[in-house]
Amino acid sequence: MATQPMAPTHAVVHSHHVPRRRQCVRRRGIFIRSAAAAAASSVVPTDTLSAAFWDYNLLFRSQRDECPDPVPLGVTEGAIPPDFPAGTYYLTGPGMFSDDHGSTVHPLDGHGYLRSFRFHPGDGRVLYSARYVETAAKREESGDGDGASWRFTHRGPFSVLQGGKKVGNVKVMKNVANTSVLRWGGRLLCLWEGGEPYEVNPCTLKTLGPFDLLGLAGSDDKPPPRENASARRTQRPWLQEAGLDVAAHLLRPVLSGVFNMPGKRLLAHYKVDPRRGRLLMVACNAEDMLLPRSNFTFYEFDAHFDLIQKREFVVPDHLMIHDWAFTDSHYVLLGNKIKLDIPGSLLAVTGTHPMIAALAVDPSKQSTPVYLLPRSPEAEARGRDWSVPIEAPSQMWSVHVGNAFEEENRRGGLDIRLHMSGCSYQWFHFHRMFGYNWQHKKLDPSFMNAVKGKEWLPRLVQVAIELDKRGACRRCSVRRLSDQCARPADFPAINPSYANHKNRFIYAGAASGSRRFLPNFPFDSVVKIDVSDGSAQWWSTEGRKFVGEPAFIPTSDGEDDGYVLAVEYAVSEHRCNLVVLDARKIGKKNALVAKLEVPRHLTFPMGFHGCWGDE
């Protein structure tokens, strides 16, 4: 379906101006905006094109109000089923996009806003809370944390400040803790792609402070790793490797001292190995963004955050990794190839372009490099040169991984399967993601809905790799997970008990294709794919509503015995609803078992990633 042009930014902005300052009062522990402000913010043009533009922008509208004291959610449809487990669904994402001095930032640079939905199945109640993660940047930019007046001083790597200092502003990296949330070892951590996690009280959502996970792993009072953690390097020519070492040595103090970048940055995506009871995380070196090599350090922690294993790999490629995978024997990286953009770097330094403009995608190869890095001694013993990637036979930018697993094959080798989402290099654009344009204060949804080819936008695929007993690749293929799900889709999720196991079902956010002006994003459906036969079943919203990332909550041993949670964003009604779907009934009329309504004054912007924590 051809995408219609979106409404001009200036035409919409001037027709319905919303005051930036909101008067709030506090009642019973909750901030409530004035009725006048609420009425002004809910005015939306009635013609379809302008409505679509506004729907998209309302999905990323700031929510300044917090809800530290839990409030019960009203059930508008169905009821919480009696077998739903007691626990809490945590969802994080950006909450603040615009300040009081004319600046609007990219969604990836929005301050982290943590939401929690605490389920009490005994009495059918669900209690909702929401608070900002009190990072150092948040306290500085929100007027010492009181939120009375916001002034963005950090650009953030993806944004340009319209109302702040541009030229010479080296305050780029601000840890916004807005990307994912982790419940592990009795702790609740909010993660970001460029800094250490922030720990939050899992009950009150009060920020406890930075959690020095890498320092904890390397401290003297912790047991040493159970295997050699020395860096594994590639066989690059000695002179070239020495030159890169010198460049890295010169770059580190500049990145750290001038731009306040940590020497190692944890990736926001983590993995849990349920079979071994381990938390897996990976970090990159700060200078990797600027050099034609990449350092990856993998950490494995037990339930007490004691370090069990640490492995470091130096890959001879300029890569940007957002999500990754693991199997019993390997860490799996799909290499998103990037390159330094010299003109973009000069513009970024001036402050007129975002810092991410210094990088560009590198579509020089028509394949996708897949790095199988040895996790176990058995994988290393096979003798395969891990520094040489397997080339998957299609060019694809890796977005998110749903699951990965391995099985022994008849030849004494391994069959590795990845279920994931990926998009094209032609569509992916660093500083235009979500339709951000630093020259305007509104998002342009036409970018996220542009269609120039069937395989451009994110779609769900399976990567299949066959290794022989020596670890050599016999074949590698990439195919759609389901021909019945040919529409854009992302945020793949599974029953977490089946992580690193052969799974049958994948759940994801998807586009139904029924919308004329926003056909591909935001998503309006949850799709359930049966990998065994490629069939797909759908649950879709009605009217001008969208859905976020699905999360699977298991109730028994069966792979699809459980419920799927997703937030429904009814932006035209200025509402957020939490929907509970019966995973076994998706595709049937009675799939929706409950819908819970967040109070209107607490309506929140679109979240990124969430997690479930049992009581």
Residue 212 lies in a domain: yes
Which residue, 334, 373, 338, 368, is CA-closest to 356?
338
Residue 563 has pLDDT above 90, yes or no: yes
φ, ψ for residue 614, nearest 5 deg: -65, 155
Looking at 31-35, 104-108, 532-536, which range is the least confident one? 31-35
**Which residue, chain included where needed, has tokens 């953009």?**
341
CB 552 within 8 A of CB 564: yes
- pLDDT for the residue numbered 507: 98
Which residue, 437, 354, 433, is CA-closest to 157?
354
How confident is the model over 558-572, as a mean pLDDT? 96
Indicate the number of domains in the chain: 1
- pLDDT for the residue numbered 23: 35
Residue 14 confidence class, pLDDT cut points 50, 70, 90? very low
Residue 32 confidence class, pLDDT cut points 50, 70, 90? very low
Looking at 30-34, 525-529, 602-606, which range is the least confident one? 30-34
- pLDDT, one tens digit per residue, over 152-190 is 998 888 998 887 666 666 677 889 999 999 999 999 999
- pLDDT for the residue numbered 243: 55
- pLDDT, one tens digit per residue, over 21-30 is 333 333 333 3
Instruction: Give 360's contacts (C-beta < 8 A, 6+ positions apart).
Output: 338, 339, 340, 341, 344, 430
CB 5 within 8 A of CB 446: yes
Residue 238 lies in a domain: yes
- pLDDT for the residue numbered 240: 52
CA distances (Å), origin 526, targets 39, 84, 390, 428, 532: 31, 19, 32, 23, 19
Residue 372 has pLDDT above 50, yes or no: yes
Residue 337 has pLDDT above 60, yes or no: yes
Percent of the chain with pLDDT over 70: 81
- pLDDT for the residue numbered 24: 37
**Which residue, chain included where needed, has tokens 């007129």?**
352
Residue 236 has pLDDT above 80, yes or no: no
The overall average pLDDT reported for the chain is 84
Number of other residues whose CB lies within 10 A of the CB of residue 208: 14
Residue 107 lies in a domain: yes
- Domain residues for 193? 9-614
How confident is the model over 399-419, as a mean pLDDT? 95
How confident is the model over 568-578, as a mean pLDDT? 95
- Cα distance between residue 88 and residue 218, in whole Å: 31
Strands 231-232 and 207-210: unpaired
- pLDDT for the residue numbered 9: 36
322 is in an annotated binding site: yes
> Which one-letter amino acid corresponds to residue 555?
T
Q: Which of 5-19, 305-319, 350-364, 600-614 shows the highest mean pLDDT?
A: 600-614
Residue 81 confidence class, pLDDT cut points 50, 70, 90? very high
Residue 245 confidence class, pLDDT cut points 50, 70, 90? low
- pLDDT for the residue numbered 346: 80
Residue 3 lies in a domain: no
249 is in an annotated binding site: no
Residue 4 lies in a domain: no
- Cα distance between residue 446 and residue 28, in whole Å: 42
Q: Is the pTM of this model over 0.75?
A: yes
- pLDDT, one tens digit per residue, over 465-521 is 999 998 999 999 999 999 999 899 999 999 999 999 999 999 999 999 888 889 999
- Cα distance between residue 48 and residue 158, in whole Å: 30
How confident is the model over 273-296, as a mean pLDDT? 85
More confident residue, 261 or 441: 441
- pLDDT, one tens digit per residue, over 294-335 is 899 999 999 999 999 999 999 989 899 999 999 999 999 999
- pLDDT for the residue numbered 194: 81
Residue 50 lies in a domain: yes
SS (H, E, C) 348-364: HHHCCCCHHHHEEECCC
Residue 174 lies in a domain: yes
Helix (H) or strand (E) segment spanning residue 546: strand 546-547
Residue 8 confidence class, pLDDT cut points 50, 70, 90? very low
How confident is the model over 410-423, as a mean pLDDT? 95
Residue 2 lies in a domain: no
Residue 44 has pLDDT above 70, yes or no: no
- pLDDT for the residue numbered 257: 47
First-to-last alpha carbon distance for the chain, in angstroms, is: 46
609 is in an annotated binding site: yes
